């Protein structure tokens, strides 16, 4: 039995087999080869294995998603077997006497660049397909043809790190817990784990090769036990039972309104990252969706989601919430949430770079597509729009202008829609300090305390070494919260909080005292928050 510790990132107990997940990328290090014939043979074998993998994925997509999605993998197989692509790789192997991985990486760079520079949008999008296919080939060459071990049975996922896009693509039913050797409890992946209700430990000292061993994970205490003895297993079972008993105790709050003892009503909403999170929101008595992270629609695929794909997702959310408010945040891509197909310039400090609304206002074609989908879905429920990373009044005004232009387009096309509230996220000191001006242009505020804390304290919340300095209760953060609430109420608009502070029941009464009207958090925390509100003065 071995014990390891890390940072508890998402509460809960998990018991099950560990599955080691390899890094997303496979390094294509340049190596000299003496036997060219043997290297060519290795390439042909890898190409055959990669083709079989793609065929397997295609069959799965056909059963689960339909012919259209399966067609994507038909195209991938054609790219993999393409004569020009194959010839480029083999010519490099022969000419430079280098390994096939390196030759494939060079071919990928060449072909993806050609596609990305084409005038036709469809052809530009094929650059991402080239990168995907080449990446698969490089992985096969590098790991002997084994598929990256996405678990097919319920498992505890162990990895060096997990990107949000990796996390969202895992089969949730097969994920008992996350354990990463890097990362921060304030990262988006940790937040996603909390949204999904999955125990998670980050910055953990678990050794490589833990896959296949039985494990116990305590996401509250940040502990991992490999090869647990009977006593440890029994203790884990008791803790799981205690958590289930606690959930039963809280169930009485599911149908109750969240009202303080002095009579103030607070709306308690759910944060979600995908449609699959809605069931948990409903089961826990959410009064609506306070944050639908639409960016995960962008992270799940290899190309920008189409208007139709987005419309169907937003419409489904609106329908399933049956008239309750669904606040959809426009895409918050950037920082640790990267979509390669957007081909953004590499930035020294992406947290301060082109992200969120800055992408929306510099890549208006992408933003307009999202707004069209949102407006079309608004005809089927109670949808509101929320824009992240606003720092200036002109940004809100420009967003409103674009929304107006989109409405006119839809009117001309005789497409039904409803007017939607436009809110902004207050997550920078600039927004909080000018909240009175921003309130005049907004229908509501939602405070993102995670980024607000990061930017106020000049501290990277992704950096695990800075955990002890990350203080969401810092007086400066508290003053900005109060300032934002006062400005919102003075302008006659409501203010919510959708950052992790909303789930901190020790802060519930203080947040209510500041003037917070709505709290939105991971579904698993809704009943705890309701209880805390009902017990507040």
| Domain-wise residue ranges, the chain | 2-22+149-242, 36-143, 254-534
450 is in an annotated binding site: yes
Mean pLDDT of 48-73: 70
DSSP sequence for 25-70: -------B-S-HHHHHHHHHHHHHHHHHHHHHHHHHHHHHT-HHHH
Contact 203, 186 (CB under 8 A): no
Sign of the Cα torsion 77, 79, 85, 89 reads: negative
What kind and span of H or E run contains 2? Answer: strand 2-5
Q: Percentage helix, strand, coil, to 5, in the chain?
A: 50, 15, 30
Task: Tell me what the mean pLDDT of segment 254-266 comes to.
Answer: 92
> Which residues are CB-contacts of 485 (< 8 A; sequence separation ≥ 6)?
495, 514, 515, 516
pLDDT tens readout for residues 494-530: 999 998 899 999 999 999 999 999 999 988 889 999 9
Q: Return the CATH number of 254-534, one of 3.50.50.60, 3.20.20.60, 3.40.1160.10, 3.40.50.300.
A: 3.20.20.60
Q: Dump pLDDT digits (tens) for 273-324.
A: 888 889 889 989 999 999 999 987 887 666 788 999 999 999 999 999 999 9
Could you tell me which residue, 357 or 345, shows the higher pLDDT?
Answer: 357
Cα–Cα distances in angstroms (integers) from residue 277 to residues 33, 142, 286, in the given order: 50, 36, 12
Q: Is 101 helix (H, G, I), strand (E, B) or coil?
A: helix
- Residue-level pLDDT at 490: 97
Q: What are phi and psi of 330, to 5 degrees?
A: -65, 160
| Cβ atoms of 524 and 192 closer than 8 Å | no
Contacts of 323 (CB under 8 A, 6+ apart): 381, 382
Give the CB-side neighbour count of residue 69, counting CA atoms within 13 A.
15
Listed in sequence order, the residues at least 6 apart from 521 whose beta carbon sits closer than 8 Å to its beta carbon are: 268, 269, 270, 271, 290, 498, 500, 502, 503, 529
What is the CB neighbour count within 10 angstroms for residue 2? 13
Strand, helix or coil for residue 311: helix
- Whether 427 contacts 392, CB under 8 Å: no
Q: Is 427 among the annotated ligand-binding positions? A: yes
Confidence of residue 145 (pLDDT cuts 50, 70, 90): very low
In contact, 304 and 366? CB cutoff 8 Å: yes
Looking only at the bridges linking them, the beta strands covering 175-180 and 325-329 are unpaired
Q: Check residue 21 and report its DSSP letter.
A: E
CATH of 36-143, one of 1.10.274.10, 2.40.50.140, 1.10.3720.10, 3.40.718.10: 1.10.274.10
Q: Which residues contact 428 (CB under 8 A, 6 or more apart)?
A: 389, 390, 391, 451, 452, 455
Task: Give which of 8, 15, 80, 5 is closest to 43, Cα–Cα.
Answer: 80
Question: pLDDT tens-digit profile of 422-477?
Answer: 999 999 999 999 999 999 999 999 999 989 999 999 988 777 778 789 899 999 99
Strands (E), 207-319: 214-218, 223-226, 267-272, 289-293
Helix axis angle for 83-96 and 100-116, nearest 10°, is 130
Give mean pLDDT, residues 227-256. Answer: 86
- The overall average pLDDT reported for the chain is 86
- Distance between CA atoms of residues 521 and 499, nearest Å: 7
Q: What is the pLDDT of residue 168?
A: 58
In whole angstroms, what is the distance from residue 410 CA to residue 372 CA?
A: 8
User: Measuring CA to CA, which residue among 240, 230, 246, 234 is closest to residue 176?
Assistant: 240
User: Rounded to whole angstroms, how far apart are CA atoms 53 and 77?
Assistant: 9
Contact between 164 and 296 (Cβ < 8 Å): yes
Q: How buried is 453 (Cβ within 10 angstroms: 0-12 exposed, 13-18 middle, 19+ buried)?
A: buried
Q: What is the pLDDT of residues 176-194, one digit of tens each?
A: 998 998 877 766 667 777 7
The pTM (predicted TM-score) of the whole model is: 0.65
DSSP result, 121-144:
HHHHHHHHHHHHHHHHHHHHHHHT
**Residue 122 CB contacts under 8 Å (≥ 6 apart), including other chains:** none
Does 461 carry a binding-site annotation? yes
Per the CB < 8 A criterion, the answer to whether 453 and 405 are in contact is: no
Residues counted in the chain:
537
Measured CA angle at 434 (ends 431, 438), to 5 deg: 80
**CATH 3.50.30.10 is right for the domain spanning 2-22+149-242:** yes
Residue 343, marked binder: no
Q: What is the pLDDT of residue 335?
A: 58
Please tell me whether 248 is known to bind a ligand. no
Q: Is 213 labeled as ligand-binding? A: no
303: left (phi over 0), alpha (psi -120 to 50) or beta: beta
For the segment 200-221, what is each residue's pLDDT rounded down to a tens digit?
Answer: 999 888 887 788 889 999 988 8
DSSP 506: T
Residue 164 — very low, low, confident or very high, per pLDDT cuts 50/70/90? low
Output the pLDDT for position 240. Answer: 83
Which residues form the catalytic set?
Answer: 188, 498
């Amino acid at each position: 039995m071995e014990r390891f510790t890390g940072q508890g990132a998402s509460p809960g107990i998990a018991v099950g087999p560990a599955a080691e997940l390899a890094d997303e990328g496979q390094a294509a290090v340049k190596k000299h080869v003496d036997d060219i014939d043997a290297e060519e043979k290795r390439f042909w074998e890898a190409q055959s294995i990669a083709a079989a993998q793609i065929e397997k994925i295609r069959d799965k997509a056909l059963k689960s998603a339909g012919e259209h999605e399966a067609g994507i993998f038909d195209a991938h197989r054609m790219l993999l077997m393409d004569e020009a692509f194959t010839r480029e790789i083999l010519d490099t192997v022969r000419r430079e006497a280098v390994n096939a991985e390196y030759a494939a990486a060079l071919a990928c760079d060449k072909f993806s660049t050609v596609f990305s520079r084409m005038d036709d949008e469809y052809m530009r999008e094929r650059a991402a397909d080239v990168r995907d296919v080449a990446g698969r080939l490089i992985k096969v060459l590098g790991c002997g043809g084994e598929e990256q071990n996405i678990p097919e049975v319920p498992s505890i996922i162990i990895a060096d790190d997990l990107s949000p896009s990796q996390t969202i693509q895992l089969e949730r039913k097969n994920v008992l817990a996350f354990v990463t050797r890097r990362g921060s409890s304030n990262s988006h992946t940790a937040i996603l784990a909390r949204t999904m209700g999955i125990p998670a430990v980050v910055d953990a000292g678990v050794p490589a090769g833990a896959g296949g061993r039985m494990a116990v994970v305590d996401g509250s205490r940040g502990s991992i036990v490999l090869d647990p003895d009977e006593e440890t297993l029994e203790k884990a079972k008791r803790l799981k039972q205690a958590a289930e008993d606690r959930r039963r105790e809280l169930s009485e709050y599911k149908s109750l309104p969240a009202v303080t003892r002095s009579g103030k009503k607070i709306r308690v909403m759910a944060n979600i990252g995908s449609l699959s999170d809605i069931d948990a929101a409903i089961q826990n008595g959410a009064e609506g969706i306070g944050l639908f992270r639409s960016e995960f629609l962008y992270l799940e695929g290899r190309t920008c989601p189409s208007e139709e794909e987005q419309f169907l997702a937003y419409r489904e959310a609106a329908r399933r919430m049956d008239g309750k408010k669904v606040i959809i945040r426009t895409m918050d891509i950037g920082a640790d949430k990267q979509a390669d197909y957007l081909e953004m310039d590499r930035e020294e400090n992406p947290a301060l770079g082109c992200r969120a609304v800055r992408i929306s206002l510099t890549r208006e074609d992408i933003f307009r597509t999202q707004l069209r989908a949102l407006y079309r879905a608004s005809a089927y429920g109670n949808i509101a729009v929320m824009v992240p990373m606003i720092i200036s009044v002109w940004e809100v005004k420009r967003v409103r202008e674009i929304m107006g232009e989109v409405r006119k387009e839809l009117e001309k096309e005789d497409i039904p829609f409803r007017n939607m509230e436009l809110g902004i996220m207050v997550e920078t000191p600039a927004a909080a300090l000018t909240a009175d001006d921003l309130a005049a242009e907004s229908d509501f505020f939602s405070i993102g305390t995670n980024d607000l804390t990061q930017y106020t304290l000049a501290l990277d919340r992704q950096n695990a070494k800075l955990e002890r300095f990350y203080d969401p209760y810092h007086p400066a953060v508290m003053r900005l919260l109060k300032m934002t609430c006062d400005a919102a109420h003075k302008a006659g608009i409501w203010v919510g909080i959708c950052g992790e502070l909303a789930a901190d029941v020790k802060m519930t009464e203080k947040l209510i005292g500041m003037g917070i009207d709505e709290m939105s958090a991971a579904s698993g925390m809704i009943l705890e928050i309701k209880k805390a509100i009902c017990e507040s003065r």
